[in-house]
Amino acid sequence: MLKLWHRHPFRLMQYLEWVLLGIALLTAFSAVIPHPRRHYWVAHPPGLNWAGIGCIAVLGLMSLRLPHKGHLMPQLYIMLGFICSWLAIALINRGERAFPALLLVVVIRGCLLFDWGGRIAVALLTYCSYLALQIMGMMRVTFWGISLGRPLPPILRRLPPEELRRVWFGLVFNSALLFALVLIFVLLLVGAVLAEHESRNRLVKAHRRLREYALQIENQATLEERNRIAREIHDSVGHYLTAQSIQLENTALFFDQDRSKAANHLAKARHLGQEALANIRTSVASLRSNPHQRSLSSSIEQLISDFKSNTNIEIDSQLNLPANLSNELKAALLRLIQEALTNITKHSQATKVNLCLQKSQQQILLSIQDNGCGFDPSHNTTGFGLQGMKERTAALQGEMSIKSKAGYGCQIDIAIPLTGDDYYRA
């Protein structure tokens, strides 16, 4: 049972249904109270009025639960609504006055249960029911001895028959036209509410998926950073510690036999330890620096100062950047410089580095050149960290070129285009 039925999903629509049902009940209760000069119960027993009011009450209780889509229950639910509406006007004296309100309640529920094809079908069936009631009223069709049509005012009954039919037809036509306009308005109103509700649900789902994607990207970035740190430790610190362990073993081996060789191996071990410590300091400085806390120029100057103190490599820098770059672009530029200097420290054997970072027209130009041993760019360079620099540059829609040759150093040129999102907005 719980799978076939659910609560009314729209409070606004439910309140509108209750207002329409309240109007119908007021009309029904006015029929229950007898006229002081006319005893309606003689021809129309009061029990039938109360039975008709019970049908309206059943139609109101149906709004507490709606059937799920995809079953036969929605069709049966709407048919039950039509049956209760027809029974109400048949059992209540002058019940035809409550019929339009009851039909509008059924139309609103049809809009909630069906798509546009079903909504139009329910609206057409509703309009046909209203026209049938008008025709039955003109034909003086009776239920339990009571006519569905209203008695004409005395002034109209004095008109000639032809004129009376023309006036009567005009009233019925105008009433049918007005009810058609009301039906169209209800269809558009409920359709707009449902479309807004669906758009909001899609927006909530899209926001949820966006958060999931953001978490996945964050986890992926964290994993890549862990892999990078692990690779650096393995390639640099691990190498130094392994070599130092070998030198210490040689020191222990020659300690009793040849003190000069032992001292030589011990000096090499001490030098390897110093290089490992300098490499660790460089990596820690790279991780601790945060361009969001200071300007990009000061962050780069701090990075250069740490590079000089740890490597004793001379570096000549030229920085000319605007101060209103976004945090994302500042972080990316700093990471690119860090990666390049780390590669120079570990692999270049250079004694001098030239670094130039400037804005030219609508792009940022970064150039890093060293006088080291160089390498062949056509070979696999993933161990030098250049692959990570290429991926970071590509993420910024930029271009990266490498010029190097064995024995002639290396030059890296990066061009990153600037867009409106790369600046702080005042």
Mean pLDDT by 10 residues, the chain (426 residues): 64 85 79 51 56 84 80 86 86 76 90 88 91 75 54 56 64 83 90 88 89 84 75 67 82 85 86 79 65 73 81 87 80 85 83 91 91 81 69 87 88 88 50
Reported as type and span, the H/E element at residue 198 is: helix 161-232
Q: How far is CA 215 from the centre of its chain?
A: 14
The pLDDT value given to residue 245: 84
- Cα–Cα dist 295/266, whole Å: 44
- Cα–Cα dist 355/333, whole Å: 12
- Cα–Cα dist 191/107, whole Å: 12
The pLDDT value given to residue 357: 93
The pLDDT value given to residue 413: 95
Query: Cβ contacts of residue 176 below 8 Å, gap of 6+?
Result: 127, 130, 131, 134
The pLDDT value given to residue 47: 55
The pLDDT value given to residue 231: 66
CB 172 within 8 A of CB 138: yes
- Cα–Cα dist 23/97, whole Å: 10
Model confidence, pTM: 0.48
The pLDDT value given to residue 88: 83
Residue 415, beta-bridge partner list: 365, 399
Residues in the chain: 426
Reported as type and span, the H/E element at residue 369 is: strand 363-370
The pLDDT value given to residue 305: 85
Residue matched to tokens 């005009």: 170
The pLDDT value given to residue 40: 46
Strands 146-147 and 352-360: unpaired
The pLDDT value given to residue 159: 55
